[in-house]
Structure 1
């Protein structure tokens, strides 16, 4: 337990709260006097970091409790970890006691809806407001405390205004939409609170590292596994025109321009995702719905892969990904310490890998078992027929999307989340969920 001389805390400007005397103050100070004997362990107000200073005015009992045997002021910590009450401690205390304001976009999407649901249930003390283009009928009953901000990604004035009121912004959905990220940055930086940064979690994706635009033969294994720590310089220096590079360039320019006392940002880069979403809108991931659709469109009655099918991708269960989001938001609310932000704020979330051929083999067996396909056999699309692959999902308007989804490599290692959050996958592997995923899509 730390006991500090009166002159020490005054000289260092460490006062957070003064509790006056009187009977209540006396009782509190008696308890505090005995608490000083022991280091207070986590368990009571475990998220609070700071000091309480007891100052007697009227109470005789307070006086003798505080000054009993010493000339020291009775101070005690309510959370292990911080050694001084800096501005971070004050900021953390304020946000926890008053309730952090969290602005979230994409709240009805697969990822954004899961984030909204996870944060709302884990932290009902947060004040949350969500940008919604259309409001699901069950939204008010599911989330009665969440305030609705009506608008879409092009509603730049609305987005900017909401971001200006937030302690943290979680931006999901369209990762290439420049107007919305500019509006968020403008809102955050237009009227910043002194020494109280706003935190921004921006959804990117490990698709930024896909090799589908390179000269590598589709369907072959790329041995490169990207680390969000060791390979950060290469990640930051990707050429113009790569996936999400346009928006990330805007974000990096903003973090370089503004002080860390104004804006602190982190890019969330999940790999392919499996598992049912938690939110009020979309429950299903993109990959399996697209894959089942193209199996039927191909007209061969078999699950497919491209070339050798050895191309490998990283995966994560939606529940594990939410642990990264929740952990970083909690770090932000607590003052942002012991986490990486700005250019170092890249967070991968992968927990496992799977090749396209292994997915095809497992898919064929499952769909045949349920009578959806006549055969459990698989088929390879020759690399000479890449036009057929590139034409897949063309209605989505994304060039070579079929090659990206089914024939490329994107392998990542979540080193930063492990370092900052102690992150490890807790959910079952993809193979345990594959039947549920595939049969659900096929029956729609």
Structure 2
């Protein structure tokens, strides 16, 4: 019998690309996708005809519980790291619908903003250089034991505490994601794209705080690949403790950038490609308030440090990221943002 997958976020960036990758490789799986509206459902159905549409939103707890109970595997990507109600409903459904003999699996999308907790506590640290680097293989307890006030920590705790003999959980924690999504609707990420947006519209290079903050990155197709690999592990009923629950915490990165260097590269490329009027862009230093005024929370994050090593996925499921680096993707990011600006 075909495995049953329940996926949230099919119309989003991460969920759409994951659905593309999963459907492309395993069209025989029975995939159900949560979609809010009929219009969006049509877009998903047109792209993936075999997918069963579940009309509803993250606030529909009963629907989430029922679908999680029926599914062999839940892939949760829609506002996953911040919506507590949806996470509770999924946890309740998985627990009610599964047993030790027939466990349910939960692939949950976290976020590397959780690693920024030190910088977020002190505005004076904005843009500071940091040597702190987490590791999901040699020191996974450092990740599952972060301070309670760390970004997304309450949802991480909820997911991990749901793990049992009958429910197997895995948290996939991506940093800055880039690359064109292959889903039916939203194909754009945020952090690097908002940076490109600011550079193209304001025509200067933003330097946040001291300008030395570092952050990991990953191509969206590589993130989707890991979702597929862990889904396959779940389908094969691989319950090795190194994959799930307390140990199932996956940093999903394939590189690191300094935000100010990425901004400088974007500025240089924007002028080379003729996407802006100025021939040379000046740098402007922004503190927290000015950064928020210019581009919202994303701009402040360009002054945070979020650094870790993704070893677990490579060791336990053979994850091998293959996407181009974020630096090699800068021209595409800029062109996509320019096209988006012209359409709007």
Q: Same fold (TM over 0.5)?
A: yes
Structure 1 residue 269 and structure 2 residue 176: aligned? no
User: Structure 1: where are the runs of 5+ without partners?
Assistant: 1-97, 395-399
Q: Cα 1:423–1:140, aligned 2, differ >3 Å: closer, same or farther?
A: closer
Q: Secondary structure at the match of 2:327?
A: helix
Q: Which range is displaced more, 144-153 or 329-338?
A: 329-338
CA distance in 1 between partners of 2:2 and 2:144 (Å): 34
For residue 194 of structure 1, report the CA deviation from its aligned partner.
5.4
CA distance in 2 between partners of 1:201 and 1:280 (Å): 21
CA distance in 2 between partners of 1:436 and 1:352 (Å): 18
Contact residue 106 and residue 167 of structure 2 kept, 8 A:
yes
Structure 1 residue 418 and structure 2 residue 314: aligned? yes
User: Structure 2: where are the runs of 5+ without partners?
Assistant: none
Q: Secondary structure at the match of 2:125?
A: coil
For residue 287 of structure 1, report the CA deviation from its aligned partner.
1.6
Contact residue 13 and residue 188 of structure 2 kept, 8 A:
yes
Higher CA-based Rg: 1
- What are the equivalent positions in structure 2 for 1:182-221 lying under 5 Å apart? 182-193=88-99, 195-210=101-116, 211-215=118-122, 217-221=125-129
Q: Secondary structure at the match of 1:277?
A: coil
The size of the alignment, in residue pairs, is 333
Cross-structure match for 1:429 = 325
For residue 138 of structure 1, report the CA deviation from its aligned partner.
3.2
The alignment's TM-score, normalised by the length of structure 2, stands at 0.91
Cross-structure match for 2:49 = 144
The alignment's TM-score, normalised by the length of structure 1, stands at 0.71
Q: Which has the higher contact order (CA 8 A, sep 6+)?
A: 2
For residue 340 of structure 1, report the CA deviation from its aligned partner.
1.4
Contact residue 288 and residue 438 of structure 1 kept, 8 A:
no
Contact residue 304 and residue 381 of structure 1 kept, 8 A:
yes
For residue 424 of structure 1, report the CA deviation from its aligned partner.
2.9
- What are the equivalent positions in structure 2 for 1:52-63 lying under 5 Å apart? none
Q: Secondary structure at the match of 1:213?
A: helix
Cross-structure match for 1:304 = 206
Structure 1 residue 402 and structure 2 residue 299: aligned? yes
For residue 408 of structure 1, report the CA deviation from its aligned partner.
1.0
CA RMSD of aligned residues (A): 1.8
Q: Cα 1:100–1:313, aligned 2, differ >3 Å: closer, same or farther?
A: same
Cross-structure match for 2:70 = 165
- Deviation per CA, 1:68-95: give whole Å up to 9, x if none: xxxxxxxxxxxxxxxxxxxxxxxxxxxx
